[in-house]
Structure 1
Amino acid sequence: MEIKATKNGDVLEVALSGRLDTNTPPDLKGYLRENLEGVASLAIDLADTQYVSSAGLRVFLFAHKELAKVGSGLTLRHPNEYIADVLDATGFTEILTVEQ
């Protein structure tokens, strides 16, 4: 998995490519831990992400909870059909903003 990010003021945009599988979530979580301070809005672009495991979903939940503490929000953008189905089946679409 590759993480590319841009920060514009208090808006952080992260683009993931590859697989967010059993081995890669610690990389994303570590990146987010180091970069969420002062962030009012986080968008994670999944356009080039082929797969998200339950460990990856936990990282999304971690980010959501951290941002909620300061009244901020997380948006997941451009999930493929498989990832969108997983987000829907797990109820993540009820707690996160998901944009096609």
Structure 2
Amino acid sequence: MDWGILAKNKMNIEKNYNGKELTIKVDNQIDTVTAPDFENEIIDEMGKFDSLNLDFENLEYISSAGLRVLISTQKKLQPEGIPFNIINTPPVIKDIITVSGLDNVLNMQ
């Protein structure tokens, strides 16, 4: 069994621009293995958008490593006044964000 391939199959990312608004849809899970790839996908788009939405409709799990990426992204975008929203957040992901105390920091819809 190739664990590298298995790990990469734990997260799927789809990017969609509507003008200068970027929506990144993330499926499956963001964990210690996939969080660096998730962060790199966001970093690769920096400077190309004036609004960022993360669509978590099909996200099943997010670890503390994934939460760190969310906070890091917000810290990069906030000084520039770029809106950052987490949309279509399933209850299980909302619970993880709430229990971590980040529901007052992150904009979830």
User: Same fold, TM exceeding 0.5?
Assistant: yes
- Measure, in 1, the Cα distance between the counterparts of 2:101 and 2:50: 23
Task: Report the secondary structure of 1:97's partner residue.
Answer: coil
Match 1:58 to one of 68, 71, 87: 68
- The correspondence of residues 35-46 of structure 1 with structure 2, limited to 5 A, is 35-46=45-56
Equivalent residue, structure 2, for 1:29:
39
* TM value normalised by structure 1: 0.91
The one-letter code sitting in structure 2 at the alignment partner of 1:82 is V
- 1:45-100 deviation digits (Å, cap 9, x = unpaired): 1111100000000111111111112111211112222111111122222112101x
**2:23 aligned with 1:10, yes or no?**
no
The aligned amino acid for 2:47 is: E
One-letter identity of the residue aligned with 1:28: F
**Bigger CA radius of gyration:** 2
Equivalent position of 2:80 in the other structure: 70
For structure 1, the residue ranges without an aligned partner over 5 or more in a row are none
Aligned mates of 1:42, 1:96 — CA distance in 2: 13
RMSD: 1.1
Name the amino acid aligned to 2:80. V
Matched residue count: 99
CA contact (8 A) 1:40 1:67 kept: no
Q: TM-score, normalised by structure 2?
A: 0.84
Give the counterpart of 2:30 among 20, 30, 38. 20
Aligned partner of residue 75 in structure 1, secondary structure: strand
